[in-house]
A = this chain, B = another copy of it.
Amino acid sequence: MTNFDIEISEVGPRDGLQSISPIMPTEAKKAWISALAAAGVPEIEVGSFVPPRVLPQLADTAELVTHAKAIEGVAVAVLVPNLRGAENALKVGPDKVTIPLSVSETHSLKNLKRTHEQVLDEVRGIRAAIDALPAAKRPKLEGGLSTAFGCTLEGVVPEDKVMEMAVKLAEAGCDEVGLSDTTGFANPKQVTTYTKRIHELLGPQMLTGVHLHNTRGQGFANVMAALEAGLTTIDASMGGIGGCPFAPGASGNIVTEDLVFLLESMGLRTGINFDKLFAARQVLAQALPEVELYGFTPEAGLPKGFSPATPQ
């Protein structure tokens, strides 16, 4: 029995920190992750198992998984670019492992240096590595459909290509696929249509989450479409930090603080305490004073007479 209706997956420690040049000290990251968990954030993507020379900002991911796993009640997610990254991840036991596959093959070659078939080979390898673990130790394997709604390099990404890749990720052994608006191109009609088609192709349990950006201000319109289509996990980033560093022009994850307000205002429980969430924002702000934090709700405060759905 969960204490939330919609699961917010905080991706700031991964998607946020990989997009900025300052390197947040490991102890500060731990304090931030602890503060997020204390606020009730149900899932945190703590980092990515990429080589430190590619993303030195995330070099301490293994240590952060160990730290977060010791906190009760929070699911620990990580990104992996390939089998090698996954093998390193499995050593420290995250709850969820996500491997992105860029539906735009141009972006895939640039971001992951792999063709679709090469990425699917990695997925099959990761599936085997997970299945070699005792059942109780197996993380969930998610295939992330990056650039699903359009690509800064290719432009329009055909809808049928998204469907093809969703099916291939499932066949390669993913427990779930996720829709990702890597580039901030998504519109609500796409979110509705793509979700519906994937649910028909693979079953609703195979797609529960979405990763949205606010590049053109459309983030929460897409959240509404996602909720309407029955998705229940939404990625967001505290202070809206982050985006994709390999997609020029893209910026701005949707803001966790405003998303919590939106959902709670609609009577949807997030399991999150506002005061503690704003306290976690302070931890982030103090650790990265040079980084601009977005979000309206922390500044405006909660409306007079506001009753959140989650008991505070």
- Residues of A in contact with B (beta carbons under 8 Å apart): 150-156, 183-185, 187-189, 214-221, 223-225, 249, 251-252, 255, 258, 261-262, 265-267, 295-297, 300-301, 303-306
Contact = CB atoms under 8 A, between A and B. Distances in A.
B155 A216 contact: no
Contact of A187 (B153, B249, B266): B266
6 contacts: A155-B304, A215-B296, A216-B303, A217-B262, A221-B262, A224-B225
A188 B262 CA distance: 8
B224 A304 contact: no
Interface SS, A side = loop
A267 B192 CA distance: 14
B304 A150 contact: yes
A217 B252 CA distance: 13
Contact of A217 (B155, B261, B267, B306): B261
A265 B193 CA distance: 14
A185 B303 contact: yes
A296 B225 contact: no
Contacts of A219: 220
Contact of A216 (B214, B216, B221, B297): B297
Contact of A303 (B150, B189, B295): B150
A296 B253 CA distance: 13
Contacts of A265: 187, 189, 218
A305 to B, nearest CB: 3
Contacts of A184: 300, 303
